[in-house]
Every structure is written in C-alpha cells, then in structure tokens.
Chains A and B, each alone.
Chain A
Amino acid sequence: MNEELKTILLDTLKSTFGIDIVSVESPYDFITITVKKDKVVEIVSHLYDHEKLQFQFLTDLTASHYPDDKEQLEVVYHLHSLVNNIRVRIKARLSIGTPEIATLTGVFAGANWMERETFDNLGVVFKGHPNLKRILNVDDMIIFPLRKEFPLEDQVRLDKNDTMFGR
C-alpha cells in the first residue's frame, strides 16, 4: 500500500473524527479501521468526497457474529479507491440487543442488496433502508441463520462430539 496515501487517510480520519476511531490495524497489509457505529455513514461519505482519496467504490459489505464479545455483531465494509488503487476496511460493532446501524444506500446504490443480505443472514437492521426484507432465505424464516447460536449439525444427535468434529 502506498505509504503517502496511508498517512493522508489516517491523518484526515484522526483530525476529523478523532474520538470516533476505536482502533487502527493492518492485518495482512489491509488497513482496518474500527469506528463507532453512529459515525460510519459520515466517515464513508467523508472518504467518498475527499479530493485525494476518493473511496468511491463499495467492494463488499457484510457482518460477523462474535458471541463471546460484549458487542457481538461486527459490520464490515470494504471500500476501494479506484483512482489510487488502495483499499480500506471499516468496521463497526453493534450489540445484539439493538443491532441497528444507519444505511449506506444514500452513498452507494449497490449497498441495497448487500445490506439486505446482511440483514437476512445476521439480523443487522439498517435504519433508513428503502426495502429491508429478506433476500436469499424464505420470507417466513424467523431466525438469522449465520449467527453462531445455530450450529450446522442436527442438535438432537448425540453421537457427534463438537470438540472432536469441528465447531
């Protein structure tokens, strides 16, 4: 990754949203910024409009579930600046009780189905989304299947020991 742009990225985020940045990491050379959940849209719009950075492409939007953490759900955004060819990953943590975060559809039209998929699988509610309903699973499903409380194996089977055969 281009060091100069990396510095610009971190400087602009720190100067504009200093207290809202929870952590900055770089696993496998992929800059990862964890932010407070109510600031995600503001930060993404800021990176979108920044004249040098121009993160104007939403590569991916998804979420993961970490049942052992206090804030269990983690929404993950992958942004790409096609002009500079740099990528950034933005994360925000939500509690499982109120899994609400503002929608990104106002910035990226492509966020529409990605958010619907994330809602469908993990139950993240994107506030302000124009059409937040299930997309891949059946409409009358009552669970969010990618959450970790739904293991894959048939739970009534006693012959399978989870410590021996996977999670």
Chain B
Amino acid sequence: MAIVIKSNNDIIESEQKEYTTLNLGPTHPATHGIFQNVLKMDGEIIVDSEPTIGYIHRAFEKLAERRPYYQITTLTDRLNYCSSPINNMGWHMTVEKLIKAEIPKRVEYMRVIIMELSRIADHIVCNSVIGVDTGAMTGFLYIFQMRERIYEIFEEICGARLTTNIGRIGGFERDFSPAAWAKINKFVEDFPAALKEFDKLLMRNRIFMDRVIGCGPISAERALNYGFTGPNLRAAGVDYDVRVATPYSSYQDFDFIIPVGTGGDTFDRFMVRDQEMWESLSIIKQAIQKMPSGPFHGDVPEFYLPEKADVYNNMEALIYHFKIVMGEIGVPKGEVYHSVEGGNGELGFYMVSDGGRTPYRLHFRRPCFIYYQAYHEMIKGGLLSDAILTMSSMNVIAGELDA
C-alpha cells in the first residue's frame, strides 16, 4: 500500500524558511485553459496560492444587453464549451419561462436526449483528462472516439459540433432526421462497451487509485459554503442535482439515481462523473423508448421563425419573420431565474426584462466561477503534481470561468 500524502491545512509559514515563487500559467499546458496561479512553494509543497482569472473575459453580460433574445444563444455556447447544448437549452428554457410558453412533450424529450449526450461528452473530457494527467494516455485516446460520435450526432442535428447553437426558443429548428436517429441508436448501442473498457483501464487500476485517492479533498460543509454544485458537490457527499430538485424539461418522467461520493477527493469526483455517464445513458434510452409523437416546436410565433415557404406566401408568417429578425417582438416585463444542471453544476440564468427587444440585465450563474475559488484551499499543503490533478478533476473550463 502506497503512502497517501494528505493535504495539510495547518501548514505554518516560517520566517526562517526561504520559499520559491512559481508561476503556474497563464498558459501552462497542464492546466488546460488560461488561468494563472502564483504559487508559494516550500520545495514541492504548496504553501499558498493566488489565482488570477479573467484572461478570456468577453463581457457576455454586457453583450447580452444589446442582443435580441435569439442571438444570445450563441453567447451561451461559449460558456462551458464542452457541453454547449446544455447552455443553449438552459437559455431557451429561461426565455420560455419568461414568455410562459407551452412546450410539447416531444421537444422536452428531444432536449433531454441532447442534454444527456452533451453531459456524457463533458464528463468524457474531464475523466479522460484526469487519466492523462496521471500519465495514462490510453483511456483518453480510446474514449475520445465516443466523444467524436456525440459530436457527429450534434452535427447531424444542427450542423455544428462544438459551439452548437442547437435548438430554438420554443423547440428545434427541425425534427431529428432518420440519419440522426440512426447515429443516436448506434451510439447508445456502442457506448456501454467503450465506457466499460475505459472503466477497466482506470477505475480499479492500482497505480491510478494510489495517485488520486486523497488528492485535493474538500468536505461537504466547505463545499456547500463555497457554493459548489454538480459532480464536485456530489463527490463531497451532498445529493443536490437540479434535475431532481427543480425538474425542468420533463426530467421527472425519467428514472435515474444521483451518484454521491464521500471524501470529495479526485477519485470521488472521477467516480461520480463515471456513474453519471451510466445514468445519462439510461436516461437517453428511456427517452428514446418513451419518445412521444407531436410537433418539434411549440406554438410561439413571436419567437420561432416560420417555415421559409410560408414567409413567401403567407402574410402573417412574413410579418412574424420580419418582427423576429428585426427584434420587434413583444416580450413581457419580468424577472426570472432559471437553472439547469450543466456539466459542472447549477448553471443559472437571472434575467430582468423591461419589455424591450433585449434583456435589461442578464446574469449567468456559472458553476466553475463559483467553485474555482475553493481551489487555493484544496491544494494548500499538497504537492504541485496533486494541484494539477485537482484542477483537472474539478473540470475548470476557462470559458465558463471568465464569461
């Protein structure tokens, strides 16, 4: 049994000692993104750290105050770009909540399929990168084929792969094509074997376990106090999941469990994400099986672009088309908060509308931004190499961090 070095928060800075200052970042290949940490090192032990963020701040909240509602979807793409469909649909649902639109069951089920696929893609990135950072390249290379397959499904449905802009306010721009269904079914068929292979490579691997167990832990109390959500909070042992707490998009129709960990360390985060992939797969299967028939978009003519043929032949459709494109639609005044379970946790949209063509104020609650502030506490007293692992297991995405 290897000796596990636990982080020691009682580490005392001494006057006699000489410390080394180490700049980790802004563009360090091991941090997978642009953020800087100025570390104060005692040999290989981290005594203190000072994070700097904001290197890719793009002022989304300000930009959103100038854009009509349908144009904001592309901004949400660029928050957590590993699972952009969840952000897109979270935004669509926020607007639908504001305008009190009724959405057909079929749309909600289609959204569930897309959102769970992107959750799988998100967790694949995070978990396989934990493998890479511990020195295991194989799992990453194998499982990324499955991520590629998910991106092909997105491509079939909306034409884009990474920054998807998938769906519209009110539903989808078109129904899933037979080719898309074939790809989804093939994915559901093939994914269990691929994930099982990945699990076999890492999960009970002695070297991997010795490396990640006890690395970068956080207690449930601290995690809650820091505002953790998503897999990182569940790894600490709190069973909070937005899909269950405040069900949206018909999640109450599906049967799934919320995996929780105990220690909140890197291994727990890895395991929680791994189990969530299995649960997501089960949700996708249930959604395919129960898929109701019906229209693929709701009846929201003021937001959903009419058929192109109608625009040329039908006056009402032409008027709506013009109004939507020019942003002259009537939006109710109001204040909404809507949240979805993103890849990293509770992705919230706080929107104030004053009845104008754009939101008066839009604030994104970005899970990364909120839990990354605990990072300095989690790595204190640990080794530098553990800090790298802790960061990759927290799945800090620069786009979401900096908005």
Is there an interface contact between B245 and A114, defined as CB atoms closer than 8 Å?
no
Is there an interface contact between A57 and B65, defined as CB atoms closer than 8 Å?
no
CA distance A108 to B373 in the complex (A): 12
Is there an interface contact between A64 and B403, defined as CB atoms closer than 8 Å?
no
Which residues from chain A contact B373 at a C-beta distance below 8 Å?
A: 109-110, 112-113
Is there an interface contact between A110 and B227, defined as CB atoms closer than 8 Å?
yes
Which residues from chain B contact A117 at a C-beta distance below 8 Å?
A: 369
Q: Give, as a whole number of angstroms, the nearest-CB distance from B348 to chain A.
A: 6
Which residues from chain B contact A59 at a C-beta distance below 8 Å?
A: 227, 339, 346, 348, 365
Which residues from chain A contact B374 at a C-beta distance below 8 Å?
A: 109-110
Is there an interface contact between B225 and A110, defined as CB atoms closer than 8 Å?
yes
Is there an interface contact between B335 and A152, defined as CB atoms closer than 8 Å?
no
Is there an interface contact between A32 and B61, defined as CB atoms closer than 8 Å?
no
Q: Give, as a whole number of angstroms, the nearest-CB distance from A63 to chain B.
A: 9
Q: Give, as a whole number of angstroms, the nearest-CB distance from B71 to chain A.
A: 11
Question: Which range holds the interface residue count of chain B?
Answer: 35 or more
Residue A56 lies at the interface, judged by CB distance under 8 Å to chain B: yes
Is there an interface contact between A28 and B334, defined as CB atoms closer than 8 Å?
yes
Which residues from chain A contact B245 at a C-beta distance below 8 Å?
A: 82, 85
Q: Give, as a whole number of angstroms, the nearest-CB distance from A80 to chain B.
A: 9
Listed residue (B224, B238, B346, B361) with the most chain A CB atoms within 10 angstroms of its CB: B361
Query: Of residues 108 to 167 in A, which have CB atoms within 8 Å of B's CB atoms?
Result: 108-110, 112-114, 117, 121, 134-138, 145-146, 150-153, 166-167
Which residues from chain A contact B369 at a C-beta distance below 8 Å?
A: 113, 117
Is there an interface contact between A110 and B226, defined as CB atoms closer than 8 Å?
yes
Residue of B nearest to A121 (CB): B61
Is there an interface contact between A136 and B337, defined as CB atoms closer than 8 Å?
no
CA distance A87 to B350 in the complex (A): 13
Query: Of residues 369 to 386 in B, which have CB atoms within 8 Å of A's CB atoms?
Result: 369-374
Is there an interface contact between A108 and B402, defined as CB atoms closer than 8 Å?
no
Residue A89 lies at the interface, judged by CB distance under 8 Å to chain B: yes
Given contacts A82-B238, A137-B54, contact A166 B327 (CB under 8 A): yes
CA distance A58 to B63 in the complex (A): 26
Query: Of residues 331 to 388 in B, which have CB atoms within 8 Å of A's CB atoms?
Result: 334-337, 339, 346, 348, 350, 352, 356-358, 360-361, 363, 365, 369-374
If A28-B97, A82-B245 are given as contacts, then 11 extra A-B residue pairs at C-beta distance below 8 Å, sorted by A number, are A30-B335, A64-B352, A65-B361, A85-B245, A113-B372, A146-B61, A152-B62, A152-B63, A153-B66, A166-B327, A167-B66
